[in-house]
Amino acid sequence: MQEIALELRGEYIELDKLLKATGLADSGGRARTLIAAGEVRVDGQVELRKTAKMRAGQVVDFAGQRVRVAAAG
């Protein structure tokens, strides 16, 4: 599984924006569709909330990719 590190610019990033920012989804609309279909896991659990706030320390899994969310700086 490939791992991507994403450093936050603020306190959190919404899940759909995280997928787009990391290139795992082509667009915000595509990201929201993937989340609604139950294809995205956060900390090992399926996440269906498109705008769930991802904070430092959380891990997002999608399509064989893992994104580790890190605090800014």
Q: Measure the CA angle with vertex 51, ends 54 and 56; round to 5°.
A: 5
Query: Looking at the domain 2-70, which fold is it?
Result: 3.10.290
Domain ranges in the chain are 2-70
- pTM score, two decimals? 0.94
Residue with tokens 């769930």: 52
60 touches 41 (CB < 8 A): yes
- Write down the pLDDT at residue 63: 94
Burial environment of residue 32 by CB neighbours within 10 A (0 to 12, 13 to 18, 19 or more): middle
- Taking the alpha carbons at both ends of the chain, their separation in whole angstroms is 26
In tens, the pLDDT along 24-69 reads 999 999 999 999 999 999 999 999 999 999 999 999 999 999 999 9
